[in-house]
Amino acid sequence: MSADIAPPVPAQEAAAEAGVRVVNVAKTFGSPPAVRALEHVNFEIARGELVALLGPSGCGKSTLLRIVAGLVQADPGGAIEVLGRQQTEPSPGVSVVFQTHNMLPWLTVEANIRLAAEIQKLDRAEIDSRVESVLSVLRLENFRKSYPHQLSGGMRQRAALGQALILRPQLLLLDEPFGALDALTRDQLNVELLRIWQEIRKTVLLVTHSIAEAVFLADRVLVMSDRPGRIIEDIRIDLPRPRDPRTTKALPEFSRYIIQLNRIMGVD
Amino acid sequence: MQADIIKAGWLRATIERVILFVALAAIWEISVVAFNVKPYLLPRLSTVVESIWTFRTTLLIQSLVTANEIILGYIAAVIGGIILSLIIYAWPLARRTVYPLVVLFQGLPKIALAPLMIIWMGYGTSSKVFIAFLFAFFPVVISTLGGLSGTPQNLVEHFRSIRAGTWTTFWRLQLPAALPSIMDGCKTAMPLAVIGAIVGEFVGSERGLGYLILDATAQAKTDMLFAALIAVSVLAGLLYWVVEILADRVWWRSL
């Protein structure tokens, strides 16, 4: 179904460049009754690629992201390679942003953003300069002394992005980072996300259940089945970059991708 | 503008309180006279105020004795309670063995232990300090343990993902996250420490406000008894107020 639009990535090129390689990963929760969350999951993400993981609620896409992050152990038998290393626990170079922000209520926005860098024991001057650049990229300068509860939901997720960017990750894992926000704020933040990604060009794996969001942002969309989750489609999104909400979403190809994905996910 | 509104609200609350106090005082004074209540049952408020003034030095000295016992017992309970909780929390063996013991001990009426403490530690300060400690200890343990295990799971996961070690996670996440709950325990513990010290003085002492209460009762000096009761209330109120000011520094409690 996707063959006419997304030619498979040449094998040796992917092997050399892989940011993430997931081979035959499965995950079973609890026992008994055991819940099979993931089954035979295989995919690769090239370095610098922005890949969306699309699937219905409860299909295990967040679990898959946590496995890639090293936060959850996959069942034995599979392999997860991140930035050229076997992933068994959270590793340097990987940052995660979740749907609910992870800011400590007793720290200011600035202190929250610094936190991860301080824990990694980075040099003080280095942290200072990184904080400044993160605050400016995310346009949070005026909110640096605010506490999380004083911010709007959108501002909080922006700061949560800052918490991840401060470590200058090679791989950014986003678990529906704007999923709890209203549609307008969500669209705005997606545009910001693209702008930032355009600048840093790091590998991004974005979990989402929004087809439009996946198509608008990603180079490739991996579609997951219902539980137990498997990758059932791998669709390359050949829309020109830089993308922009008005022009990109007006392209006929954009609608075609949406229709195609709707059909795959059975929501047409 | 904002400050004016806050000030106006505060002023209003103060006026309301003063009116209530004056009304209660007037009812007390007038009823005793009107219904001809015997002074050994309930002295007139003015008589009580008079004895507070007459015995001000005694009241102050005995208050200081009791305050000293309360504060020492309370601080021991807070520090000991937090340390024991940390041990129970961090060490599974202690959770399995020490914790059930603490809970079991809590079921014991500590008031019944007071005479034993007098036998063991004598009539002096240490027995009262220890009884105050026994009364105040348990809420600190329970609230600290509750606070530590109540650390939001998403933040724990976040700390794992930024590769924070056990100590870092404790100092930068679990402890501050537990502080609001710990402070609640400290607030509960303060009045209990007051009860403990007074109970200790009841059971065996020659000093302190508890002793003063018993002594006044024995001599049927009800005005003196009331004076001592007022001193206890003021002392307990002051101590609680101090704890509350400290607890308010943990401002993220309600977030």
Paired strand residues for A53: A207, A222
B255 contacts A119? CB cut-off 8 A: no
Q: Which residues face A52 on adjacent strands?
A: A206, A221
Smallest CA–CA distance, residue A160 to chain B, in Å, is: 11
CB spacing of A102 vs B168 below 8 angstroms:
no
Best mutation target among A102, A175, A176 (most B Cβ atoms within 10 Å) is A102
Write out the DSSP string of B176-202.
HHHHHHHHHHHHHHHHHHHHHHHHHHH
Q: If you measure CA to CA, which chain B residue comes closest to A150?
A: B255
> How near does any CA of chain B get to the CA of A171, in Å?
13
- The pLDDT tens digits of the residues spanning A239-248 come to 988 888 888 8
Asked if the model's pLDDT at residue A236 lies above 50, the reply is: yes
Secondary structure (3-state) at B139? helix
Q: Hey, CA dihedral for A94, A95, A97, A103, is it positive or negative?
A: positive
For A81-99, give the DSSP string.
EETTEE-SS--TTEEEE-S
Residue B142's pLDDT is 92
A29 forms bridges with which residues in the sheet? Answer: A35
Q: Do A71 and B162 touch (CB under 8 A)?
A: no
Distance CA A211, CA A53 (A): 10
**Is residue A6 pLDDT above 60, yes or no?**
no
Q: How many CB atoms lie within 10 A of CB B207?
A: 18
Q: Cα(B56)–Cα(A104) distance, rounded to whole angstroms?
A: 50
**How far apart (Å, rounded) are the C-alpha atoms in residues A109 and A141?**
10
Residue A234 backbone phi and psi in degrees, to 5: -135, 100
Residue A5 has a pLDDT of: 46
Amino acid at A163: Q
Give the alpha-carbon dihedral of A15, A19, A23, A26, to 10 degrees. Answer: 180
Q: β-strand A94-97 against A18-29: which pairing, if any?
A: unpaired
Residues of B in contact with A167 (CB under 8 A): 162
pLDDT lower than 50: segments of chain B: none
Strand pairing class (A220-224; A231-236): antiparallel
Contact of B179 with B150, CB cutoff 8 Å: no
A237 by DSSP, 3-state: which?
coil
Partner B contacted by A119 (CB < 8 A): yes
Q: Which residues of A touch B157 (CB under 8 A)?
A: 71, 98, 102
The enclosing H or E element of A203 equals: strand A203-208
User: Is the distance from CB of B236 to CB of B71 less than 8 angstroms?
Assistant: no
User: Chain B: which residues have CB within 8 Å of chain A?
Assistant: 154-155, 157-164, 168, 172-173, 176-177, 251-252, 255
A90 touches B at CB < 8 Å: yes
User: ipTM of the predicted structure?
Assistant: 0.86
What per-residue confidence (pLDDT) applies to A14? 45
Residue numbers in A near B173 (CB within 8 A) = 104
Strands A79-82 and A171-175: unpaired
List chain A residues with CB under 8 Å of B158. 96, 98, 102
| A88 at interface of B, judged by CB pairs closer than 8 A | no
Structure tokens at A42: 């295989």
User: pLDDT for A193-212, tens place per residue?
Assistant: 999 998 888 999 999 989 99
Would you say domain B44-254 falls under CATH 1.10.3720.10? Answer: yes
| CB-CB under 8 Å, A119 with B160 | no
Residue, of A260 and A88, whose pLDDT is higher: A260
CB-CB: which of B157, B162, B252 is closest to A119? B162
What local confidence, expressed as pLDDT, does residue A268 receive?
58
Domains of chain B, residue spans = 1-37, 44-254
Report the b/e string of A59-88 with b at 16+ CB within 10 A: bbbbbbbbbbbbbbebbeebebbbbeeebe
Extract the tokens encoding B85. 């909780």
Give the gap in angstroms from C-alpha A186 to the nearest C-alpha of chain B.
21
pLDDT score recorded for residue B2: 66
**Mean predicted confidence (pLDDT) in A3-16:** 46
Chain B residues whose CB is inside 8 A of the A105 CB are 252, 255
Say how far apart CA A179 and CA A189 lie, in whole Å. Answer: 11
Residue B146 vs residues B94, B149, B169, B244: alpha-carbon distances, Å? 16, 5, 17, 20
Q: Which of A96, A119, A167, A174 to substitute to test the interface with B, most B CBs within 10 Å?
A: A119
Closest-CA residue of chain A to B178: A106
How close B226 comes to chain A (CA, Å)?
45
The pLDDT-based confidence of A227 (bands split at 50, 70, 90) is confident
Identify the helix (H) or strand (E) that includes residue A121. none
CB B101 within 8 A of CB B250: no
> How far is Cα of residue A118 from the mean position of the Cα atoms in its chain?
24
Distance between CA A108 and CA A145 in Å, rounded?
5
pLDDT at B253: 73
Nearest chain B Cα distance for residue A149, angstroms: 7
Which residue in the set B157, B162, B255 is minimally distant from A149, CB to CB? B255
What residues of chain A lie within 8 A of the CB of B255, using their CB?
Answer: 105, 149
* Strand-strand pairing, A79-82 and A50-54: unpaired
In this predicted structure, the answer to whether residue A12 has a pLDDT above a threshold of 60 is no
Tokens for A201?
């060009």
- Whether the predicted pLDDT of A7 surpasses 60: no
Read off the tokens for B35. Answer: 């219904």
- What pLDDT is recorded for position A17? 58
Per-residue burial over A142-176, b if 16 or more Cβ lie within 10 Å, else e, is: ebbebbbeebeebbbbbbbbbbbbbbebbbbbbbb
- Closest CA in chain A for residue B161: A90
Phi first, then psi, for residue A242 (nearest 5°) are -65, 145
Contact pairs from chain A to chain B, CB under 8 Å? 47
CB A203 within 8 A of CB A220: no
The pLDDT value given to residue B254? 64
Q: What is the pLDDT of residue A16?
A: 54
Taking only the tens place, the pLDDT of each residue in A143-178 is: 999 999 999 988 999 999 999 999 999 999 999 998
Q: In chain B, what residues touch A149 (CB-CB under 8 Å)?
A: 255
Rounded to an integer, what distance in angstroms lies between the CA atom of residue A122 and that of residue B178? Answer: 27
CB within 8 Å: B162 and A167: yes
Give yes or no for A73 touching B (CB within 8 A).
Answer: no
Q: What are the tens digits of pLDDT across the range A102-159?
A: 899 999 999 999 999 999 999 999 999 999 999 998 989 999 999 999 999 889 999 9
Number of Cβ within a 10 Å radius of residue B74:
27
Q: Do the Cβ atoms of A119 and B164 come within 8 Å?
A: yes
pLDDT, tens digit, 9 for 90 and up, residues A44-88: 999 999 999 998 888 888 999 999 999 999 889 888 989 888 888
Taking the C-alpha atoms of residue B101 and residue B98, their distance in angstroms, rounded to an integer, is 5
